[in-house]
Structure 1
Amino acid sequence: MRIALIKDVTEFVLDGTHGSPVRAEVGVPVLSAQNVKDGRLNFETDRYTSDVEYDHFKKRLPLVMGDVLLTIVGTIGRAAVVDEIRPLVFQRSVAVIRPKQGALWPRFLYHVSQTREFQAQLARSSNQSSQAGLYLGKLKELRIPLPPLPEQRRIADILDKADALRAKRRAALAQLDTLTQSIFLNIHREAPKSQRVIPLAQIAEASRGAFVNGPFGSDLLTQELQDEGVPVIYIRDIRDGEYRRVSKSCVSERKAHDLAVCTVTAGDVLVAKVGDPPGIAAVYPAGNPPAVVTQDVIRIRVEREVASPEFVVGYLNSSIGKWKVAGITVEATRARFSLGEFKGLRIELPSVELQRDYARRIAAVNEIRAAHRASLAQLDALFASLQHRAFRGDL
């Protein structure tokens, strides 16, 4: 299969505005790399600018259908194809690549950009300073496979259909997340008379260290982490209201013994003290080994006669809980809150029976979620195989 440089098969490669657009309460959306996700451009934003700023942007970079977007600052390599034209202004974190008609099919370029090989090129070409970035000059020099145009369209069509199956599965998982929120809000509305309002600190067991975060900082972590032993839980392991370990770091059994006060066992509630936003919570599931938390993760050992761990997690992840956590969040280098203020948050608890009913319903939803995740993993593996064959010329 022929190999080409991006600069040789595109009309141009440009990035968004380098300045800071004039802010407006309403007007033209200002979008960044955060708006390019899952192969689509999301227009939701809280930043707007004026029509004058939009006119300046449009003169330099008039978007057309089929332009390919690629994120080049921060999280590098997410992509989308423009399939809707609206007034907007891109910041410089998004590159716009316009394929040459008759030479490069936009959907083909999109799929090439998501391959392991192309992503590796991006990583090698990026400037890994305080914030990862990719210069346009280096982007133009990247290499892509280039079969004849009809073959590009055929490959893109096959991969689009396979990707659509994955998108449907992801949408089903998103619907389950919505269902989880609805179950919580229904329980919350069902029992206004039986609810108690207490500080979060009072849901924890009376024993010392029932409500703690990890005691050690980055220097100690660097010195004492190892590849095997007792797992260390980071905020990245708490996602979408669930504990799903992606970290690899561990500490020795001896070190874990020294850190016994922040050990995690099944049924403990984990809360991310730092994040975007902070406050995401999860129950540490049965079947996982004892672990320890870092300084950015709170561990709550819940008093079961007062609260259900699942209900506490549902509360913190609900719109109500997020609103309360936002009230104690400080916007520094990274958004965070203090352990003391978090303990003082007052939450509404229905009867323990209703909380346990909520936990039973959530367990049923989680079984369905696990099945969807397993199916999505199979679809991801199939898609990766198709992708590999397609750009090797075997599809």
Structure 2
Amino acid sequence: MTVLGDLVTLQGGGTPPRDEPRYWNGTIPWASVKDLGVSRLVSTVERISPGGVEASATRIIKAGHVVVATRMAIGRASILEVDAAINQDLKALIPRPGRRVHPNYLLHLLGASTAFLEKRATGATVKGIRSEVLENLPVPHANYDEQRRIADILDRADAIRRKRKQAISLMEELLRSAFLEMFGDPVTNPKGWPVKPAGELIEGLEAGWSANGEARQRAADEFGVLKVSAVTSGVFKPDEHKAVAPGTIDCELVTPRAGDLLFSRANTRELVAATCLVERDEPRLFLPDKIWRVVPRAGTTTTPYLRFLLAHARFRAELTKTATGTSGSMLNVSMEKLRGLRCPVPPFSLQQRFADLVWSVLRIKAGFATAEQDAANLFASLVDRAFSVGLPC
């Protein structure tokens, strides 16, 4: 083993005075933490002028070098595809004279070292690491050819993982596109469907019970009360729950069942009124009072139609603007407001065709999700092997 400081020197950056307009909106890319998170950094949110470089501690880093965050998103890194200045929250890794270090190897090393770096972060509000922490990061001995070989293996494994993840995202986009093709924009209703209050489409809204659970995954003999985050993303996440001992339950539970539509009635303005579909029975989980099960009226509507209707950004905004609450961070949609929401109502047969498509795509998506998890596990295993004992030839 060696340490990172034996291979590279660290170069920091800075920020030109914000109150000097002539230093900003120039021609020089200026990278900060918010620009990282991609393996190859080709552009930045902000740009500065040559005068901004002269008036600050920033430095222009040549393309091909790795930059890494030492504050906030500690360890997040990217390879510069363009010459760029950096701010004070980043460090550029510049190979020492006579040292050849493959940038992709460094990128994967930093990705594998996030826990090491975060554990050594300090700060009361914004966490950060000192330069010596980064300089003392352990690095396995590997010559340049070996670094390149390891980086190539990890790049290919990561590409497989990313492509499978992208395929899952494309399926969701496919369903959104199919919804608009079949039913049109629900706000403008160009197909002229009859419009009715949601209360005429919904048979019932079933609220759960908010138990005092423990912040951990439930044991086999325990129940789990879902957190609002189980619904927020639009995809049901059964692992987002708190453990509840069976002996503490003294009421009838609302458990998620295959085909259910769940609705989050309370959250921030951006996240309230989130919905998701449940793909399998979860008898050991139950809903809190902040999540409702939306029961459709038979022969009138389907849960997939309601899910994509309520998830349409502008239609959902019509509902969220009715949310109330005294807190600026947590708002609530009442059952009355949801039932009063005016909804376009296409023929049930057309809704059923869409529902069949949704469930078919979700079954395929589940297979892709398993494959994506397998690819992620393989990538993690390869990374662990590469930076502990090295990958086999």
TM range (shorter): 0.7 to 0.9
1:306 is displaced (CA, Å) by 3.7
Per mean C-alpha deviation after superposition, the further-off stretch among 294-303 and 27-36 is 27-36
For residues 328 and 73 of structure 2, what CA distance do their matches in structure 1 show? 16
Partner of 2:60, secondary structure, is coil
1:164 is displaced (CA, Å) by 1.9
Q: How does 1:143-292 map to 2 (within 5 A)?
A: 143-189=138-184, 192-199=191-198, 203-206=201-204, 210-212=205-207, 215=210, 220-222=212-214, 227=219, 228-238=221-231, 240-247=233-240, 249-258=242-251, 260=253, 263-272=255-264, 273-274=266-267, 277-278=270-271, 279-292=273-286
Per mean C-alpha deviation after superposition, the further-off stretch among 287-296 and 26-35 is 26-35
Tell me the equivalent position of 1:61.
59
1:73 is displaced (CA, Å) by 4.6
1:183 is displaced (CA, Å) by 0.9
1:373 is displaced (CA, Å) by 1.9
Tell me the equivalent position of 1:312.
306
The structure-2 alpha-carbon separation of the partners of 1:169 and 1:223, relative to structure 1 and needing over 3 Å to count, comes to closer
**Amino acid across the alignment from 2:240:** S
- 1:302 partnered with 2:299: no
For residues 264 and 114 of structure 1, what CA distance do their matches in structure 2 show? 36
Contact 2:215-2:243 within 8 A present in 1 as well? no
Tell me the equivalent position of 1:366.
362
Partner of 1:258, secondary structure, is coil
1:107 aligns with one of 82, 93, 104 = 104
Between the two proteins, the alignment pairs up a number of residues equal to: 378
Per mean C-alpha deviation after superposition, the further-off stretch among 175-184 and 34-43 is 34-43
Contact 1:256-1:292 within 8 A present in 2 as well? no
For residues 249 and 44 of structure 2, what CA distance do their matches in structure 1 show? 44
1:381 is displaced (CA, Å) by 2.8
1:108 is displaced (CA, Å) by 0.5
Tell me the equivalent position of 2:375.
379
Under a length normalisation based on structure 1, what TM-score does the superposition of the two structures give? 0.77
Contact 1:329-1:335 within 8 A present in 2 as well? no
The structure-2 alpha-carbon separation of the partners of 1:133 and 1:269, relative to structure 1 and needing over 3 Å to count, comes to farther
**Amino acid across the alignment from 2:63:** M
Identity %: 20
Contact 1:22-1:53 within 8 A present in 2 as well? no
The alignment's C-alpha RMSD in Å is 4.1
For residues 305 and 117 of structure 2, what CA distance do their matches in structure 1 show? 43
**Amino acid across the alignment from 1:111:** H
Point out where structure 1 has 5 or more consecutive residues left out of the alignment: none
Contact 1:79-1:113 within 8 A present in 2 as well? yes
Contact 2:42-2:81 within 8 A present in 1 as well? no
For residues 91 and 329 of structure 1, what CA distance do their matches in structure 2 show? 41
The structure-2 alpha-carbon separation of the partners of 1:385 and 1:240, relative to structure 1 and needing over 3 Å to count, comes to same
Under a length normalisation based on structure 2, what TM-score does the superposition of the two structures give? 0.77
The structure-2 alpha-carbon separation of the partners of 1:122 and 1:7, relative to structure 1 and needing over 3 Å to count, comes to same
- 1:37 partnered with 2:37: yes
Structure showing the higher helix proportion among its residues: 1
1:267 is displaced (CA, Å) by 3.0
Q: Which has the larger radius of gyration?
A: 2
